[in-house]
Amino acid sequence: MNIVVLGAGAWGTALAISLAERHRVTLWSRDAAQVAAMAAARENRRYLPGCPLPADLLLSAEFDVARAADMALIVTPLAGLRETVARLARCDRPPPVLWACKGLEAGSGLLPHQVVAAEGPGLQSGVLTGPSFADEVARGLPTALTLAAADESFARDMAHVLNGHRLRLYANGDLIGAEVGGAVKNVLAIACGISDGLGLGLNARAALMTRGLVEITRFGVVLGARRETFMGLAGMGDLILTCTGDLSRNRRVGLALARGQALEAITRELGHVAEGVSTTREVIRRARELGVDMPITEAVYTVLDGRLSPAAAVDVLMAREPRAE
């Protein structure tokens, strides 16, 4: 299959490296200087240092490479999804589209599939999501992901084609659940980073993850997701990895907040997008509109918004009235 990976950050580069073992892959970046640097070094030193690019992985800064693709995999930050889909939709024969960005669109609160439907109506499409760190995928360590689409036959077909001996894919027909799990787990990762940074212990982390999964499920079901999706890779699996793994950018945001660093300085030092920051604001807005109770997410929001210190937000959570589980 001829695949174009749109977005040459860490995750896009890792997926391109992995898929190049079995397919003809072109990694695209809008930044021609970055493409030239990767071509010269055969490595993405800016976003994924130490992971060589395969000799047959093609690189391009020309969007026209998407016109000849059998499938486009969008791995831009969520903020770039709308523009990228619109450009694909203008192709004479737009290829099927998968996206690997997570979150709710800033301002609109839309899930990625809603953005795709607005800009590319009629496109065959789905999401690739689940517990995965780019560095490990690029190094060929075993990883399992969910490929979800409203059209379950499309999900099965794409999972079969893209499945590899080190990148195992499971098809799923619950597009909403897969996206909600991937989005809201980043909020919980910030919460767990705050807890760990304050030295609150493993008991507290376990409580945050467990009750956080309840919040994710509650929110997702109201939006139309299947409850069982959140027990799988796109829910529990992604939550566990992001809340406990040291490679998690969102967890690192929480750790830095606990140390008293300002949010602006934290995001600047990361050098990568931590989607949980903008997602928190959108989830809270949608949850309030829908009447969904999400106390941990509310606590993270008050810290990101500067209204409470991390320690004070913990006190607010612990002071809540006891209730049945």
What are the tens digits of pLDDT across the range 118-163?
999 999 999 999 999 999 999 999 999 999 999 999 999 999 999 9
Pairing of strands 125-129, 43-44: unpaired
CATH of domain 182-318: 1.10.1040.10
The alpha-helical segments, DSSP class H, found in the chain are: 10-19, 32-41, 81-89, 112-119, 134-138, 152-162, 175-197, 202-223, 238-244, 249-258, 263-270, 276-290, 295-304, 310-318
Among all chains, which residue has been given the structure tokens 């809201």? 184
Q: Dig out the tokens for 138 from the structure.
A: 């690029």
Strands 48-52 and 43-44: antiparallel
Confidence of residue 38 (pLDDT cuts 50, 70, 90): very high
User: Is 185 part of the annotated catalytic residue set?
Assistant: yes
pLDDT over 90 percentage in the chain = 94
- The radius of gyration computed from the CA coordinates of the chain, to the nearest angstrom, equals 19
Q: Which fold has domain 2-173?
A: Rossmann fold (3.40.50)
Mean pLDDT of 268-289: 90
Residue 280 — pLDDT band, cuts 50, 70, 90? very high
127 Cβ contact list (under 8 Å, min separation 6): 98, 99, 100, 112, 113, 146, 147, 148, 149, 175, 178, 179, 182
Catalytic residue among 185, 249, 251, 252: 185
Give the pLDDT confidence of 206-255 residue by residue, as tens digits: 999 999 999 999 999 999 999 999 999 999 999 999 999 999 999 999 99
Phi, psi dihedrals of residue 239, rounded to the nearest 5°: -65, -45
Domain assignments of the chain as residue spans, ordered by start: 2-173, 182-318
The Cβ of residue 259 has, within 10 Å, a number of other Cβ atoms equal to: 12
